[in-house]
Homo-oligomer: A and B are copies of this chain.
Amino acid sequence: MAQIRETATARIMREINRAAVLDFIRRHSPVARSEIAEQLHVSLPTAMRVVEDLLGEELVRYCGSSPSTGGRPRPLIEYNGSAHAVIGIDLGGSHTFGTVADLFGKVQCELDVARQNGDAQANLQSLFEVIQQLLDAPRPTGQRVRGIGIGVPGFTLSPEGIVTWVPSLGWRNLPLKAILHERFGLPVFVENDVNLAALGEWGFGAGREVRDLVCINIGTGIGAGVIIDGALHRGYRQSAGEIGYILPGLNYLNCPVTKYGALESQASGLGIARRGMQALADLGRPVTGDLSAEDVFSAARSGEDWAAAVVAETVDYLALAIANVTAIFDPEVIILGGGVAGSADLLIDPIRSRIRGCTPFDPALVASPLGQRAAVMGAIMLVLTGTTESLVLRRLR
């Protein structure tokens, strides 16, 4: 016997309106308060009161006036992103990428440390060190750190901040939020790295003006973050967006997956590299040592046939996955990110033309403008929205 629909209180109502106003200012600043009231369909006093609060928190500030249109000119309000900093960490498979950025998403300090994955404790220790280093970096005077956002390549219980399982780091049921909060005394938010990248794209990247999006991340594996109504959709078992497990053909049905899903065994960075090596071996040119997906793409760029064929196959796999996402979900935009998306120029257009006509509507497919920084930008969004009640009002249409 549990509730299915949520209930509301006056405080929640205020939080909802606060979030709406802040989000609006962030996306449209500088902007006048009367404009906010009009666009968000709230009364002017309400807009005034909320902005007053935000001014108090220094999340927004005055910035001059708009020229008069015949009457008293409107003071403009702008997002005061530079007054606050966020520590954003993206724990990749072999690297830890950390930044200090302000709430505009402007990166003030960047750290990319290779990590020889040790045991769980050693990896945690190395995370401590990275965070400490970032905290020690010089900041503009008066700028305060508002929180720490961490993206991990694995499963998390997000509001609780517990890392359920991250194979590459050896973390199982690690209460990371509590540990870091204890140590650094700051608000901490823990989230799956792919979800975090999706949030980043929604806040700062290709999904800024959008309610729903899917952000596909192609790196060692393949995963996607799903955003609905400006908030993550995590799924019943926290595994929505696990598109690496899409089956690209009936023949994949009887192969229980071990470590990697069917799609990602073919189209991920690892899959591309593997098929590249196979292609070379078939030509009687076996590779000694390692071949990377990057190598395959650059060989394709310089016109080598075997590589072009591997890329074409990759395009097929991704086109199928994107067509399926479109058919099932119909998001406003689909964003291609992750390491392999660095070669988006070789992928996007071919994928588009492969899909054309196969789905009711052609998907809006774009390459991630944020690239490697998507996840740390997501950390900013987490900190920004995470300080408020975690509720979203959804209008049905």
List residues of chain A with CB under 8 Å of any chain B CB: 1-10, 12-13, 16-17, 19-20, 23-24, 27-28, 39-42, 158-159, 209-212, 224, 226, 228-250, 252-257, 261-262, 316-317, 319-320, 323-332, 354-361, 390-397
Contact = CB atoms under 8 A, between A and B. Distances in A.
Contact of A358 (B245, B319, B324): B245
B234 A357 contact: no
A328 B324 contact: yes
27 contacts: A2-B39, A4-B210, A5-B392, A6-B395, A7-B16, A228-B228, A232-B396, A236-B330, A242-B330, A242-B360, A243-B327, A245-B327, A245-B358, A246-B324, A246-B328, A248-B250, A249-B250, A250-B316, A252-B320, A252-B358, A253-B316, A253-B319, A255-B358, A324-B328, A328-B329, A391-B394, A392-B393
A262 B358 contact: yes
B158 A5 contact: no
Contact of A7 (B17, B245, B323): B17
B320 A250 contact: yes
Contacts of A328: 224, 226, 240-243, 246, 324-325, 328-329
Q: Give me the 8 closest cross-chain CB pairs, A-B, nearest first.
A: A235-B330, A256-B357, A5-B20, A245-B327, A236-B332, A240-B330, A249-B249, A390-B396
A361 B240 CA distance: 11
A359 B245 contact: yes
Contacts of A332: 236
Given A324-B328, A328-B243, A356-B256, A230 B7 contact: no
B396 A1 contact: no
Contact of A331 (B8, B236, B244, B249): B236
A234 B360 CA distance: 14
Contact of A250 (B7, B158, B238, B317): B317
B158 A230 contact: no
Contacts of A211: 4, 236
Given A158-B397, A239-B361, 8 more contacts: A3-B40, A6-B394, A8-B17, A243-B328, A247-B320, A250-B320, A262-B358, A390-B396
A272 to B, nearest CB: 15
Contacts of A254: 354
Contact of A23 (B4, B239, B250): B4
A249 B6 CA distance: 41
B393 A5 contact: yes
Contacts of A316: 250, 253
A323 B245 contact: yes
A28 to B, nearest CB: 6
A139 B249 CA distance: 53
A212 B395 CA distance: 17
B360 A245 contact: yes
Contact of A235 (B19, B209, B329): B329
A367 B262 CA distance: 27
A211 B240 CA distance: 14
Contacts of A247: 320, 323-324, 358
Contacts of A9: 13, 42
A235 to B, nearest CB: 3
Contacts of A326: 245
Contact of A394 (B237, B244, B357, B394): B394
Contacts of A7: 16-17, 20, 40-42, 393
